[in-house]
Amino acid sequence: MSEDSRDKSMSDSELKRLQVDIARRQATFWRFVSVTGSVFSKALIWGVFFGILWILRDFFALVFMTFVFSFVSTSIVRSLMHHFPKLKWRMGVICVFSGFLVLTAAVVWLAIPQVKQGVWQLKETIQELPAKWDKEIDPWLYDHVGVYRRLVSEEVEIPIEEGDDGQPKPIDDQDESPPPPADDSGDKATASVDQADKPATRTILQRKTFWEVDKVREFLNDTQNEWLQNVPNVLRDVVTAIAAVFSLLFLSLLFSFLILFDLQSLRLEVAKLEETKLARFYKETVQNIVQFGAVLGKVLEAQAVIALVNTALTAIALSILGVPNVGFLSLLVFVCGFIPVAGVFISSVPVCLIGLFSGGITTMLILIGVITAIHFLEAYVLNPRIMGAALHVNPVLVLIILVIGHHVMGIWGLLLGVPICYYFFTHVIKREDKEIGLRVRLKPRRIKPDKAK
C-alpha cells in the first residue's frame, strides 16, 4: 500500500507540474494573441486614419491654413486674456479676427501694385538678359574669373617677326612656299639651318570656336522668346493662382473663426466620442494628433519669427543698395522663409537677378554676400536661440528629409517633412514628450460657453 500511495503521490505531483506547464503555455499564447491583436488593431486604426487623409488630400491646403490661423489666433487670444482678465474668450476671438481682416486688406492693398511692378520688372529682366550678357557679364567674368577665362579660351601659338623699329610684331598673313619633300640623306647641319629659318612664335589665349558662335546668346534668346510667347498663359495662371489663394485665405479665416468662437462646445462634443463605438479609434489617435499639432505649431511659430527677421534684414539691404521692388522681394523672402533650406535658393534667384539688372554685377555680388551672411546668422544664431535644442536638426538630415518629402508629397513634403520626422523620432520612437512641454487636456472642463450677445 505504501508503494501504491507513493506512486499515486508521484503521479499527482507530475499532474500538477503538467497542469502548471499547460497553464503557463496558455498564458504565453494568450499574451502573444493579445499583443498581436493590439498591434494589428493599432495598425488597422492608423491605416484607416491615413486612408481618410489620402482621400481628403485635395483639402490639405485648407486644413493646414485653418490650423495655422487657429493656432496663431489661440496664442494671441490667450495673451490678451492674460493682460486683460475681464476680456471674454469670444470677444477676444472677434477682436483678433477683426485685426486679421484689417491686416489682410492692408497687405492686399499694398502688395498688388508691388507684385504687378515686380512681374513687369522680371519680364524686362528676361528681355535684357542677352544684351546684358554681352555688354557686362561676359567681359567681367572673362577679366576677373580665371576659371571662366580658361573655360572659354584655348592657347594658340602665333608667329612673330621684328618690325622696322626692331620690336616683334605678329604676322597675320605670311606667304610661305610649301616645304620641300623630306630628304632622308639630310644631316644635322641641314636640320639646324631649317630650325633657324623657322619664325619665332608666342602663345596667346583665344576664344574657342564654339564660343565664337555665341551659344550662350542663342540659349538666352531662345529662353527669352519662349518666355515671351508664354506670357499670356503665365498671366492667366498667375491670376488663377491669386484667386485660389484669396479664396483659400477667406475660407481658412472663416473656418478658424467659427472653430475658435465655439471652441468649448466643440471640445465637449469631440470628447463624447470616447463614449461611442469609436472610442478605440478616438483614444488611439487623439493624443498623437494633439501632440503633433503642438509640435507643428511651435515649429511654425519659430519659423515665422526667423522669417520675419530674415525679411527685415533683406529689406534693409535692398533699400541701401537701391534695388527696386523692395516690397515684392521682401514678401517673396518671407513666404519662402517657411521652406527650410530650399527656400533660401528659391528666394535668392529673383533677388539676385533684379539686383544684377538694377546695379550691375557688383550689386549682385554684394547681395549674394548679404544673403549668405543673413542665412549664416539664421543657421548659427537664430535657430539655436529661437528653435531651441529640441527642434535643432542637422542641415544634412534636413536636406535628405526635404528631398524625400518632395518626392513623396510634393510641396507638402517641403513644409511638413521636418516636423513629421521630428515628431515621429522624438514622440513615437523615443517618446520624449517633455522636450516641448506639452499640456494636453483631452477631456476639457465643462465650462459653460459665453452667451453670444
Q: Does residue 385 lie within any of the structural domains?
A: yes
> Looking at the predicted structure, is the pLDDT value of residue 202 above 60?
no
Nearest alpha-carbon partner for 402 in 387, 390, 417: 417
Out of 258-272, 397-411, 413-427, the most confident range is 258-272
pLDDT given for residue 59 in this prediction: 87
Which residue among 55, 83, 104 closes a domain? 55
Reported as a pLDDT band with limits 50, 70 and 90, residue 250 is confident
Q: What is the pLDDT of residue 282?
A: 86
pLDDT band at 453; cut points 50, 70, 90: very low
Entry field: residues in the chain:
453
The pLDDT value recorded for residue 443 is: 47
Within a domain: 247: no
pLDDT at 350: 79
Is 60 exceeded by the pLDDT of residue 60? yes
Ranking 193-207, 265-279, 371-385, 418-432 by mean pLDDT, the lowest is 193-207
Highest-pLDDT range among 2-11, 71-80, 109-118, 221-230: 71-80
Grid look-up 491654413 returns 65
Instruction: Read off the pLDDT band of 50 (50, 70, 90).
Output: confident
- Using the 8-state DSSP alphabet, how is residue 393 labeled? -
Whether this prediction's pTM lies above 0.85 is answered by no
Q: Is the pLDDT confidence value at 134 over 70? A: no
CA proximity to 434, closest of 388, 381, 369, 372: 388
Within-domain flag for 122: no
When mean pLDDT is compared across 182-186, 215-219, 329-333, the lowest value belongs to: 182-186
Quickly state the pLDDT bin for 177 (edges 50, 70, 90). very low
Q: What is the mean pLDDT of residues 271-295?
A: 84
Torsion of CA 35, 37, 41, 44, to 10 degrees: 110
Tell me, rounded to whole angstroms, the distance of Cα 106 from its chain centroid.
27
Residue 290 pLDDT exceeds 80:
yes
Please check whether residue 435 lies inside any domain of the structure: yes
Q: How far apart are CA 6 and CA 84, in angstroms?
A: 87
Which of 300-309, 340-349, 395-404 has maximum average pLDDT?
300-309
Q: Is residue 135 part of a domain?
A: no
Task: Determine how many CB atoms are found less than 10 A away from the CB of residue 60.
Answer: 16
Query: Does 40 reside within a domain?
Result: yes
| Comparison of pLDDT for 140 and 221, the residue scoring more | 140
pLDDT at 10 over 60: no
Segment holding 162, helix H or strand E = strand 153-162
Q: For residue 338, is it within any domain? A: yes
Q: Which of 193-197, 323-327, 444-448, 449-453 has the highest mean pLDDT?
A: 323-327
Burial of 329 (0-12, 13-18, 19+ CB in 10 A): buried
pLDDT at 94: 92
Domain span at 324: 287-453
* Average of per-residue pLDDT across 206-233: 58
Percentage of the chain with pLDDT > 90?
2
pLDDT at 189: 47
The rounded distance, in Å, linking the Cα atoms of 341 and 415 is 11
Could you give the CA distance from residue 38 to residue 312 in angstroms, rounded to a whole number? Answer: 52
| Domain count within the chain | 2
Structural domain includes residue 132: no
Of 55 and 402, the structure prediction assigns the larger pLDDT to 55
